[in-house]
Amino acid sequence: MLDYYAHRAYSVRSTMFQKQMITKREIESRKSLATKDRIPQKTGGIMKRVALYARVSTHNGQQDPEMQLTELREYAARRDLIVAGEYVDHVSGSKDSRPSLNRLMADAHSRKFDAVLVWKIDRWGRSLKHIVVSLADLDAYGVAFVSLRDNLDLSTPSGRLMMQLLGAMAEFERSLIQERVRAGLQNARAKGKILGRPLKGEKLSRTTEWRRRKAAENTPVEVTA
């Protein structure tokens, strides 16, 4: 009788152990399939598609976004990332709507890439509200955000905190610049200086006339045969 109950207890324990092993294998199999569906695979490791975003404030040739793009390309190459596209704007960071940025956000919504790389957070924007809203949109799309020089990754909690702090500092810095410019203009007006370009037919100062004359003398003259 005791042998019967001992055999039954052993059979129950064996059945429960087999069910646990099957459940663990099913969980691991589902996790593996989910990872394969989320991230494209390549031989020898995982491959991610990234978008590079660069911005300069002017389009006069004095500011070149190529410096930013070069470092971003090198970063992607070191980590075997595929560059799905490069987006470049020649617009002030205070503007929320920019041609290339708008195109990047549309492509992010379509999941054409898995992450966005920028050289620095102030290249993405200088308005704290715009930074927070746009990064929240990327997070909703399942797209990561990495700022190279700031060493920030939006996929981590500390990265999200530091991103907001840096955005606030960028907005504060821009406010200080605007305040200094307004103070300088007000001081110039108080001293009686006329601001802006001279009107047509207005008499120029001797210094301005001398500078224009020297510039004209240094201008090369085209010789035709």
**What span, in angstroms and rounded, lies between the C-alpha atoms of 109 and 159?**
22
In contact, 138 and 108? CB cutoff 8 Å: yes
Rounded to the nearest integer, the mean pLDDT of the chain is 75
45-171 fold: Rossmann fold (3.40.50)
| The pLDDT value given to residue 40 | 39
Residue 24 three-state SS: helix
pLDDT by residue (tens digit) across 189-217? 888 777 766 656 566 667 777 777 777 66
Instruction: Give pTM, 2 decimals.
Output: 0.55
The catalytic residue among 14, 32, 57, 127 is: 57
Report which DSSP code applies to 196: S
Percentage, residues of the chain above pLDDT 90:
25
How many alpha carbons lie under 13 Å from residue 27 in its C-beta half-sphere?
6
- How distant is the alpha carbon of residue 220 from its chain centre? 43
| The pLDDT value given to residue 41 | 38
In contact, 148 and 75? CB cutoff 8 Å: yes
Tell me how far CA of residue 71 lies from CA of 58, 84, 85, 119, in angstroms: 20, 16, 15, 7
Q: Which residues pair with 155 in a beta bridge?
A: none
In contact, 31 and 24? CB cutoff 8 Å: no
- How distant is the alpha carbon of residue 118 from its chain centre? 4
For residue 131, the tally of other CB atoms under 10 A from its CB is 24
Instruction: Assess whether 155 carries a catalytic annotation.
Output: no
In contact, 72 and 117? CB cutoff 8 Å: yes
pLDDT by residue (tens digit) across 52-110? 999 998 766 667 889 999 999 999 999 999 999 999 998 888 888 899 999 999 999 99
| The pLDDT value given to residue 27 | 54
**What span, in angstroms and rounded, lies between the C-alpha atoms of 49 and 85?**
9
